[in-house]
Structure 1
């Protein structure tokens, strides 16, 4: 149902470098590139994640209560992606670990303050 998610950025170069390095850990690669933004994905028929300067020219802001969840296939990848986000300058919003039965996740904010998590089931 979801085609793509867009996160606003005020520094496209920094955001692109952050997500190039971070999303490489999940197997994603750049699927779109244009002057205002970049998107990453794993396949054309799967949802993608984009960072973009706002179309209206105003500053990008963080949506309160908005979060993007990145799915991976193992606890080890959750650990690795979360750690990589912090190495790249992201802010920890909740350490990796079990969050209920069968759900393992870690939470972080990117360089613009957007909240994400990385998770797996099982």
Structure 2
């Protein structure tokens, strides 16, 4: 249904370093990059290796984000499919090591499903992210 999603970020280099690290354990990579320090309209895109972008990060002015015009409201987050529980754990650890915030440690979420294993973080701009796998432990 969705082709891709774009997020506004205040520091593209910082955001790219965060997403490079956090998405790598999930199998996602930077598939294109348009970083030109000091210039406008910069962006990077993430997806599966050899494919197109599913997530684009676009440089915006900090005052735009602070005004709340680009920050999603309560209940809004992105959930990325993880290939394993270990990948969920690695996503959480990598995100925190790159300046992300802990919004829910890796673990089972039985209220979401019997095998729902997820971790929740915020990126340096406050966007809420989740990595999740819903397979039984022996399969994921």
C-alpha distance in structure 1 between counterparts of 2:90 and 2:20, whole Å? 15
Equivalent residues, number: 120
Higher fraction of strand = 1
The aligned counterpart of 2:37 is none
Residues in 2 aligned to 1:96 and 1:26: alpha-carbon distance in whole angstroms:
14
Distance between the aligned counterparts of 2:126 and 2:133, measured in 1?
23
**Structure 2: 5+ residue runs without aligned partners?**
35-40, 136-140
Q: Would the alpha carbon gap of residues 22 and 50 (structure 1) be closer, same or farther in structure 2, given more than 3 Å must change?
A: same
Q: Does 1:79 align with 2:89?
A: yes
Alignment of 1:46-61 (within 5 A): 48-54=54-60, 59-60=64-65, 61=70
1:79-111 per-residue CA deviation (whole Å, 9 max, x = no partner) reads: 111111111110001111111212100100000
Are the equivalent residues in 1 in contact too, given 2:26–2:83 (CA < 8 A)? no
Tell me the TM-score normalized by structure 2: 0.76
Gap runs ≥5 in structure 1? none
Query: Match of 1:25, SS?
Result: helix
- Where does residue 71 of structure 2 map in the other structure? 62
Q: With the length of structure 1 as denominator, give the TM-score of the two structures.
A: 0.87
Larger deviation: 23-32 or 6-15? 23-32
Q: Which of the two has higher C-alpha Rg?
A: 2
Residues 73, 121 of structure 1: 8 Å contact kept? no
Q: RMSD of the TM alignment (CA)? A: 2.0
1:1-122 to 2 correspondence within 5 Å?
1-34=1-34, 35-42=41-48, 43-44=50-51, 48-54=54-60, 59-60=64-65, 61-64=70-73, 65-100=75-110, 101-122=114-135
Query: For residues 38 and 51 of structure 1, what CA distance do their matches in structure 2 show?
Result: 5
State the shift of 1:26 in Å.
Answer: 1.8
